[in-house]
Structures are given as C-alpha cells and as structure tokens.
Chain A
C-alpha cells in the first residue's frame, strides 16, 4: 500500500529505532542495576574486605615501623651526595637553597624521595609527584643515611590494613582531609598556585608518612591529633577511594557536576539534537 510504504520510509523507521534503542538501553542498565544491588558482586565484596598489599590479621598493631639496616648507610651517603647535596649540603644540614634535613626522621625523607618529589627540578613551584629516581633499596639507604645523622622524627610506617576500620576512616577522612583533597580524594587547586594533589597514586606507607610529617603546605597530624589506629583507618579509606565502589556505570573522574554537566549537555542533549535533526524537516 502506497501510504504504508511512504510512511515506513520516513516516519515509522525513527519510531522503530527509538523503541529498539529503548529496549537496548533497558537491557544494558538492568545489568548495571543488578551489579549495583547484588551484595555479592565484585564491587561490594571488595569494599567489605579490603586487603591491599596482602596484609592479614586483625589484632596485630595497625602500624609497625621499619627498622633501617645500618649497613646501607654508606650506600645512602653516596647516593645522597650524588643527588641531594647540591642543595641540601653534604651532611644534609641545609644551604641557602634548601632546608636542613637532620632530625626530620626517616618518614619525611622517604615520603619526598619515594613519591619522586625529590630531587626537585624547580624549587620555585610546588614539588610534583613523578616516578622515583631510585630503587626501593636505594631509597631506604638514603633514609638510613639521613636519619643516622641526627636522632628524632617519625620512622617509616608500615600499615596493617587488616587492623584498620574502613568506616572509621571515612569519618576521619571527611573531617580532616576532604577540605583540601576533596571528598573523593581527587585533589584540587588551592589559592596562590598551591594545590592539594590527587591521592590516587599514593601507597599505604606514603599516605601514613604524609599524615604524620605534613609535607609542603599540608598540616602535620601528630599523635595528639590522630592516634596510630586512626592513621591506619584513614589509610584504609584512601586506599578504598583509589578503587571505590563505582556502581552506576562509568565514573566521570569523581570531580562532581562539572563533568556531569558536560556529559549531560554534549552527549545527552547533543545526541537528541542530532536525532531531531535526523527526524525533523530540514528544507525550508
């Protein structure tokens, strides 16, 4: 029939395609919903028992401290002189360009070199995270050398996540950390060219070191502010934030409505405008 043929060409096709797309969309989202609501799914199970790094056993101390090997001090001195002494001086006593490192403790030294922030390319801007220049053994040797020069400061913490509480960590993180690092830990720019870095690349040891030593503009949280247990709880929650429960589909960088708005306008409205352009008339 003539009418049917003509109608089928221009009008019924969009209808059929729309229905088909709706059904496909429903099929897709019902899967997503099932993943989100089933307690046994991979997302939920990983949040229930976080065992990053293979530590096990509640009841152990939440944080233990690494004992550095004195036999590595000589190697550490060599590395320090090669890489650090041009600014910090041969005995880490500081120069006009860089501060005195003596007595700061192994945790401070370890944080700065293991996150790649030291050695520093440009001392006028905030040190950025980059791949470490050293192997882990070399880093520990430098830590051993600098901490052998003067006593004091925290030792390198090793966090036992099995003894830490995720939900206590959420409360402590939102109270103490979210004001700069944002509640999702993605980090953000602060006033005057300073920024709170993203927490996503940090290891458990680095997080605990940062809390205890307060690198850069970050406040130092001593034992009077946060107990050892609380530090471990925060570390556990930050490790969770690195792989959070991403129910609901593709996460949009966890920066909030900025990316959501762009997706809503460009993809949501944009695709519908293209659809309208396709269905609707164009000739004047």
Chain B
C-alpha cells in the first residue's frame, strides 16, 4: 500500500498531526451519551430519504385531475402536491417505504432529541462551560419541531390541510402584527396557492441548512470542550477517561448508525404511517374529525384543547383565545428552556466550570423541577388525544377534557414532590453509586474452590490501562509493540472473571491546562517499529508509564 497521497497532504497541510490527535480523541463511554447519536443518525437518514422524496414530489397547489392507480380517488380534483404524493406512494418503486422511513425517522429524531435533552438536563451537563451548546441544542429542538410540522403539511391531504388551517389561525391570533404575518406567510387569505411551495422551500432548503450548521457547531463545541463524564475512580474535573475515537469509539458509533438505520428501515417497511390515500385531498370545506398533529406537536395541540375560551379585551382590542396556548406557551417554554443555565446559576451562585456530571439524586431541586415540568408537558401531550381516549375508554369527551384541565395543575407538583423525596432518599443510601465488588472464584489444580472478593471492576480497569500523566506517551519500543510478553496476562484472566472489563484501551486525557488537544498524543515516526499500519494500525491497551507498568508484568 502506498502512503504517497497521505504524505502529500501531510507535507503540505500537516494533516497527520491533526488526524492522529483526532483519532486519539478520548470519549467517555456510557450508554446515556449515545442518545444524541440516535438523533444525529436519524438526521442523516432524514437527509437521505428526503433527497429521494424530492425527486418525485411536486410542490404545487395547482389543481389536477387524478387518474392514477389508487381507484377510490380516480377522477378527483386535487393539488399536484397530493397527486404526486399518491404517485410516490403507489407507482414509484420503493417510494412508499422511503416516505414511511422519512416519517418514522422524523418521529424518532425529535424523540431522541428530547431524551438527549433530558439526559443533559438531569445530569447538569449544561453547566459552565457548556451553556452555548445548550443554546445550540435548544435551537435544534425548536427547528426540528418546526421542520417536522412543515414536512407533515406538504402532502396536502385532508388531515395535514387542517393542520395548516390551524397554523394560519394561530398566526392570525398574534396581537397587532398577526394579520400581516399571516398574509405575508400565506400570500393572502387561507389557503391560497402559495403556502405549499413556500413550506417546501423552507422544509427542504432553509431549515435543513440551518440545522446542519447548528449540528456541526454542536459537535465541534463538544469536541473542543470535550465530553462530560460521570463521577468515578480516576475521573476528575481535569481529565477525560474513556475510549479512543479510533478504533473503539468509531466502531461503536458506526455500529450504532447501522442499528438506527435498521430500526427505521424496519419501521418504514413493516408499520404503516400516515396513509394519506385514506385521507383524501385537502378541500377547505371538508373536515375529518379526530385530527391530531404528529407527536412532537402534541403538547401544543393539547394546550389548545384545554385552554378555556376566554376572550380577553385590552385597549379596545380582543386578544384571541388561541394566542395564549399556541403562541405564548411555546414562547415561554423555549424561553425558559434556553435561559435555564442562567436561571439555575442565579440560585446556586455557582460560577465554576464542571466537567463531571451530577447524578440526578445529587441535585434534588433540579431533578424535582425537571420532573415537574416534564409532567406538565406530558399531561398536555396526552390531552391532545382527548377524543381518542374518550372513544377508547367509553368516557364522555367533556369528562376527559375536564379531567385533563385539572390534572395539568395537579400532576406536576405531585410528580415534583415525589421526585424530590426519591432523590433525597436515594442520596441517603450508604455507598449509593459505588460499584459493587465482584466475587472471584478460583479453582486450584487439585479441584478445590476458593472465593475472594475482588477490587471493584472499574478500579481494575483503571489500574491496568489508564494512563495518568501530563507528558505525552513515550515512543513504544519494539518489544512492547510486537512481543506478547508485555501484553498483560492479568487482563486476559480478568476477561473471564469479569466478563471483559473493556476490549479497548481506557485512557485519560487532560482538560484545561492546555489550550487545545491534550496529552496522550504521540506520533510514531515513519519507519519506526509499530508504524506499519500507519494511522489505522490496530492498537491494544497502551503500555502505561513505567511505575504502573511494572505491576502488570509481575
């Protein structure tokens, strides 16, 4: 294999140093850190399937007479948007599965963003120095919800058309500027023939571009600031303990991408979503009962349903009822969300930087506030299906509505109180959060069994494979690269006893003192032993510094 192209780039751009540094980047390994990855991979799938859909979708409200293969709509006048969606679903090879994957991926995308946000909130990962990434992430959530609504609206079917009508009314309800805003957005009165092409441009061009940029910034800031980690042995505010980007983390992340893709592909192929052919084209005088938005708009729909029909008059002008649940509520919601790091700091007076995460039980106040707020939005979310619940459980619609109007005030304080008590209780448990010791069973050659309580697993992992120290690792000697004797037999044994501490090196990286990068970065000169595979040579656990290494060689 020739390295000439790599050398060419390296000698001109100095890429090797950067690449080596990047490949050695340490990521803390915890399953809860992978929630954001689900969102990112869903975003990639959305881009891919979305590009496919644009090849066949016609973003036009111009009427056309349908004579396609879906017989129940034969001869109907409909918009070209709806007709092309029917065509895409029934006559384009793999069109329906692409559309369903796109829709399922959107549902999973927003859901993954929300659980990622909850993880960041409840572990305090938004604290200094990561407030900027909190803002970027909040913006991404807002844009994802908006983007989902626009995409849901594009097929111009009876259900989504009703959603656009609601959006028009909400826009109108804004005091002073509402009628102008609605007129600008829709190019006149609802429905008009402008809104589908405009939504299309915003949906496929404007918002995805902004989201891609914000996602890049989100990752770059995380890369630069380094990922937070949970408390544990050997983990401090000044280091990162985890696995190297290459090969361990890259393989893990790549595998997770394929798993995400496979779940979304399976849903798209096996479970029907949004069968628009059953809804028929949108015609303003027609309406179907039981219209819900996609789940991530559910809390807004629920708020619209629950809010009493008050008509508040101020300065001689009436503020329409829907302004409060549909404009004010999301405004307050996202405003408080983005301001939260500063709100919390006002109370904690904590201006320190934090790289170690808190367990939710460590901070009962934040946990209880978060649970209470979450409960509030959960109630609103369920309130968006009042009619379905009433019908399913044979209750009257009015009873369900009033039950939710009461529950929306009753459940959040109860949930917050219970969360506070549980967090306090969990904190008082002795040794809470410390790893349990494993019981090691030995068999002597004579067949006798003895047991021995081990050191905690995490300690063993650290002892054998963590590099502490500020200096870059010394260049490994030949014997250490190729010789089996320095590969610690102790670890081999542990694999059986402890079911593999980790297949990959756990190394730490310093934070803070150095302006960028970190220690533990070294480059093997060309020609030196161990340089055979270049950047992509497999590396096992790195030999630790001398002091700790001696223990392994016993």
Asked if residues B255 and A14 are in contact (CB atoms below 8 Å), the reply is yes
Asked if residues A273 and B107 are in contact (CB atoms below 8 Å), the reply is no
Q: Which of A24-81 contact B (CB under 8 A)?
A: 24-26, 28-33, 36-37, 39, 44, 47-48
CB distance from B499 to the nearest CB of A (A): 10
> Across the two chains, which residue of chain B brings its CB closest to A275?
B259
Q: Which residues from A are CB-within-8-Å of B29?
A: 280-281
How many angstroms from the CA of A17 to the CA of B35 in the assembled complex? 19
CB distance from B309 to the nearest CB of A (A): 13
Complex partner residue of B232 from A36, A169, A240, A284, CB under 8 angstroms: A284
Complex partner residue of A183 from B100, B260, B280, CB under 8 angstroms: B280
Asked if residues A179 and B288 are in contact (CB atoms below 8 Å), the reply is yes
Asked if residues A2 and B298 are in contact (CB atoms below 8 Å), the reply is no
Asked if residues A251 and B290 are in contact (CB atoms below 8 Å), the reply is no
Asked if residues A237 and B539 are in contact (CB atoms below 8 Å), the reply is no
Asked if residues B294 and A261 are in contact (CB atoms below 8 Å), the reply is yes
Tell yes or no: B295 within 8 A of A by CB.
yes
Contact A21 B289, CB 8 Å, known A268-B104, A280-B30: no
How many angstroms from the CA of A193 to the CA of B96 in the assembled complex? 38
Q: Which of A232-246 contact B (CB under 8 A)?
A: 237, 240-241, 244-246
How many angstroms from the CA of A108 to the CA of B31 in the assembled complex? 63
Asked if residues B266 and A276 are in contact (CB atoms below 8 Å), the reply is no
Tell yes or no: B264 within 8 A of A by CB.
yes
Q: Which residues from B are CB-within-8-Å of A123?
A: none
Question: Which of B70-78, B129-137, B195-203 is the contact stretch?
Answer: B70-78
Q: Which residues from B are CB-within-8-Å of A10?
A: 500, 502-504
Tell yes or no: B329 within 8 A of A by CB.
no
Tell yes or no: B385 within 8 A of A by CB.
yes
Contact A178 B396, CB 8 Å, known A19-B258, A30-B94, A272-B259: no
Asked if residues A255 and B290 are in contact (CB atoms below 8 Å), the reply is yes
How many angstroms from the CA of A16 to the CA of B108 in the assembled complex? 23
Contact A275 B256, CB 8 Å, known A30-B94, A283-B435: yes
The interface size of chain A toward B, counting residues with CB under 8 Å, comes to 97
Asked if residues A192 and B398 are in contact (CB atoms below 8 Å), the reply is yes
Tell yes or no: B193 within 8 A of A by CB.
no
Q: Mark B384-399, 1 if CB is under 8 A from A, else 0.
A: 1101101100011111
Tell yes or no: A181 within 8 A of B by CB.
yes
Tell yes or no: A175 within 8 A of B by CB.
yes
Asked if residues A179 and B71 are in contact (CB atoms below 8 Å), the reply is no
Asked if residues A7 and B251 are in contact (CB atoms below 8 Å), the reply is yes
CB distance from B16 to the nearest CB of A (A): 22
Tell yes or no: A9 within 8 A of B by CB.
yes
Q: Which of A166-184 contact B (CB under 8 A)?
A: 166-167, 169-171, 174-175, 178-184
Tell yes or no: B54 within 8 A of A by CB.
no
Q: Which residues from B are CB-within-8-Å of A273?
A: 31, 35, 38, 115
Name the residue among B280, B503, B504 with the largest chain A CB count within 10 angstroms: B503
Complex partner residue of A11 from B34, B74, B504, CB under 8 angstroms: B504
Q: Which residues from B are CB-within-8-Å of A184?
A: 278-279
Q: Which of B93-107 contact A (CB under 8 A)?
A: 93-97, 100-101, 104, 107
Asked if residues B538 and A3 are in contact (CB atoms below 8 Å), the reply is yes
Contact A15 B269, CB 8 Å, known A167-B74, A195-B391: no
Asked if residues A190 and B294 are in contact (CB atoms below 8 Å), the reply is no
Q: Mark A150-168, 1 if CB is under 8 A from B, else 0.
A: 0000000000000000110
Q: Which residues from B are CB-within-8-Å of A218?
A: none
Tell yes or no: A254 within 8 A of B by CB.
yes
How many angstroms from the CA of A245 to the CA of B95 in the assembled complex? 16
Contact A44 B255, CB 8 Å, known A25-B262, A33-B94, A284-B231: no
Q: Which residues from A are CB-within-8-Å of B390?
A: 189, 195
Q: Which residues from B are CB-within-8-Å of A166?
A: 71-72, 74
Q: Mark A258-284, 1 if CB is under 8 A from B, else 0.
A: 101111110111011101111111111
Tell yes or no: B368 within 8 A of A by CB.
no
Asked if residues B288 and A182 are in contact (CB atoms below 8 Å), the reply is yes
Tell yes or no: A131 within 8 A of B by CB.
no
Contact A268 B294, CB 8 Å, known A6-B540, A28-B270: no
Complex partner residue of A181 from B37, B94, B289, B500, CB under 8 angstroms: B289
Contact A281 B504, CB 8 Å, known A15-B251, A189-B396, A272-B112: no
> Across the two chains, which residue of chain B brings its CB closest to A45?
B71
Asked if residues B292 and A250 are in contact (CB atoms below 8 Å), the reply is no
Q: Which residues from B are CB-within-8-Å of A7?
A: 247-248, 251, 503-504, 538
How many angstroms from the CA of A83 to the CA of B452 in the assembled complex? 81
Complex partner residue of B271 from A175, A189, A250, CB under 8 angstroms: A250
Q: Mark B103-130, 1 if CB is under 8 A from A, else 0.
A: 0100110011001000000000000000
Main secondary structure of the interface of B (DSSP, over half): helix
Q: Which of B406-451 contact A (CB under 8 A)?
A: 433, 435
Asked if residues B115 and A15 are in contact (CB atoms below 8 Å), the reply is no
Q: Which residues from A are CB-within-8-Å of B108?
A: 264, 268-269, 272
Tell yes or no: A224 within 8 A of B by CB.
no
Q: Mark B232-258, 1 if CB is under 8 A from A, else 0.
A: 100000000000000110011011111
CB distance from B102 to the nearest CB of A (A): 12
Asked if residues A260 and B274 are in contact (CB atoms below 8 Å), the reply is yes
Question: Which of B84-92, B205-213, B315-323 is the contact stretch?
Answer: B84-92
Q: Which residues from B are CB-within-8-Å of A95?
A: none
Asked if residues A276 and B92 are in contact (CB atoms below 8 Å), the reply is no
Asked if residues A37 and B93 are in contact (CB atoms below 8 Å), the reply is yes
Asked if residues B270 and A256 are in contact (CB atoms below 8 Å), the reply is no
> Across the two chains, which residue of chain A brings its CB closest to B251?
A11
Asked if residues B73 and A32 are in contact (CB atoms below 8 Å), the reply is no
Complex partner residue of B97 from A32, A47, A175, CB under 8 angstroms: A32
How many angstroms from the CA of A191 to the CA of B158 in the assembled complex? 22
Q: Which residues from A are CB-within-8-Å of B258?
A: 15, 18-19, 21-22
Asked if residues A189 and B387 are in contact (CB atoms below 8 Å), the reply is yes
> Across the two chains, which residue of chain B brings its CB closest to A269?
B111
Q: Which residues from B are CB-within-8-Å of A191?
A: 397-398
Tell yes or no: A248 within 8 A of B by CB.
yes
Q: Which residues from B are CB-within-8-Å of A262?
A: 295
CB distance from B130 to the nearest CB of A (A): 20
Asked if residues A279 and B31 are in contact (CB atoms below 8 Å), the reply is yes
Q: Mark B265-303, 1 if CB is under 8 A from A, else 0.
A: 111111111110111100101111111111100100000
Q: Which residues from B are CB-within-8-Å of A25?
A: 261-263, 265-266, 269
Complex partner residue of A247 from B96, B291, B298, CB under 8 angstroms: B96
Tell yes or no: B58 within 8 A of A by CB.
no
Tell yes or no: A105 within 8 A of B by CB.
no
CB distance from A235 to the nearest CB of B (A): 13
Asked if residues B158 and A261 are in contact (CB atoms below 8 Å), the reply is no
* Sample (23) of A-B pairs whose CB atoms are under 8 Å apart: A3-B538, A7-B247, A9-B500, A18-B255, A18-B259, A21-B263, A22-B265, A25-B263, A28-B269, A29-B268, A29-B269, A30-B97, A31-B269, A181-B289, A188-B387, A248-B89, A248-B96, A255-B290, A255-B388, A264-B111, A264-B295, A273-B35, A276-B37
The 3 residue pairs across chains A and B that have the minimum distance between CB atoms: A29-B269, A261-B295, A18-B258
